[in-house]
Amino acid sequence: MTEYTVFGSSPVPATPSPESARIVKRMSGNRKLQDRTRPQGLSLRLNRLAIQVFGNAWRSPKGAREARYGGVSGRYVSTSDSAPGADAARGVLLWLHGGAFVAGTPRMDQHLVAGFGAAAGIPAFVPRYRRAPEHPFPAAADDVLAAYRGLLAAGFAAPSIRLAGMSAGGALAAGLLGDLAREGLPMPGTVLLLSPVLDLTTATIRRTDAVTRDPFISPDFVERTNLVYAGGTPFTHPRLDVLGADMRSWPPTLVQTGGLECVSGDAELLGSRMRAAGAPCEVQLWPGQIHGFQFFKTPEGEAATAYATRFVAAPPVT
């Protein structure tokens, strides 16, 4: 089957750049740290504190403020304050942050989000969904669905909503699509998934990691946080088994993941199942890259972000 591409050619290089190789070497100790991290007690508090410090180290982008949609609070980045000619009438970017369901925050992603929104000339909303273990499934999924409903109620037409999710936020984004299909709600115009965690059983992750060991993400850590998020609900539940969903009505989707990531198998599986269902999905595996490589100022990070920004700014015609 011919691979779906957004713009007719892929920006993915054949080999990793020296800059990205240095990043991988510098960050390779993260897996050992995750092996010791538990989603509870002091370990969880320290993990959340580290992410909070990272997020607070950056000044809020111009135009970022608190907002609520559907009763869910979050960060709203108004690109009209930072991008001349930006207009909310063109749509909105609904961005679901990562953090393994237990530790992420809207502030952590807001600079990356601001860049996407500013380039596309649309505002962005990053909901502060409830996190496990204090609020297990379906709390986060319910919050994401409520935020989407809130955007519709605020006057954003569904096709003008661009949905995006990173890491665990990718699972929530895919889960939202399943919810919309089951409830008969209109789909967003496009979907961007960055290093999504999709097979919550971690079976796919472990198979991928056995072939290419992920130097950054620990499959054991992913399994622990997924179990805490599920809170005893079987992973076969329709709202958790996103790869088993009926994808026939899903909108055009772009997935980017690093070639060293243990979640890259999840991305490939999603792509094959979406295309088998007749839904357009481009999957990019960037060689030599680790989880969240778009955050880094490397040739790959900048090229991937530029391509994804074009996707957000100019939704493809199916």
Which positions are catalytic?
A: 167, 261, 291
Classified as helix, coil or strand, 240 is: coil
Residue 199: φ, ψ to 5°: -90, 95
- Note if the bond before 133 is cis, omega within 30 degrees: yes
User: What is the C-alpha to C-alpha distance for residues 114 and 228, in angstroms, rounded to an integer?
Assistant: 31
User: What is the C-alpha to C-alpha distance for residues 303 and 264, in angstroms, rounded to an integer?
Assistant: 18
DSSP bridge pairs for 162: 93, 190
Contact by Cβ (8 Å): 187, 158 = yes
User: What is the C-alpha to C-alpha distance for residues 38 and 288, in angstroms, rounded to an integer?
Assistant: 28
Alpha helices in the chain (DSSP H): 18-27, 30-36, 41-56, 106-120, 139-153, 168-183, 203-211, 219-230, 264-276, 299-313
